[in-house]
Amino acid sequence: MRSREIASFTIENAQGRVSVAVGDTVTIHTLNGGGMGGCTIVKLTNRSIHYTQDEGKHVKTIAYDNIFSID
């Protein structure tokens, strides 16, 4: 694990607190009203979540600042 990678993270917003960890499958809701379902978290850093929706073929990133909620 590199210095900026973390094992788990707790996101706190108007909906409450949600803890996520590498390997969890979640739905991410963004601040602009969009969202992504079936996201498997592959890496957590101090600034963002790295996730995939297709078994690791394409890894995408979203900054914590852009996340409205996680289910």
Q: For the domain that residue 60 is a member of, what is the CATH number?
A: 2.30.30
User: Distance (Å, rounded) from C-alpha 10 to C-alpha 16?
Assistant: 10
Residues 6+ apart with CB under 8 A from 46: 4, 6
The pLDDT tens digits for 25-34 are 999 999 999 9
Per-residue confidence (pLDDT) for residue 14, from 0 to 100: 67
Q: Judge whether 15 and 47 are in contact, CB under 8 Å.
A: no
Residue predicted with more confidence, 9 or 40: 40
Residue predicted with more confidence, 42 or 3: 42
The runs of H, that is alpha helices, within 1-71 are none
Beta bridge partners of 30: 67
Using a cut of 0.85, tell me whether the model's pTM lies above it: no
Range of the domain at 31: 5-70
The pLDDT tens digits for 37-65 are 999 999 999 889 999 998 878 999 999 88
Split into its structural domains, the chain has a count of: 1
Per-residue confidence (pLDDT) for residue 61, from 0 to 100: 95
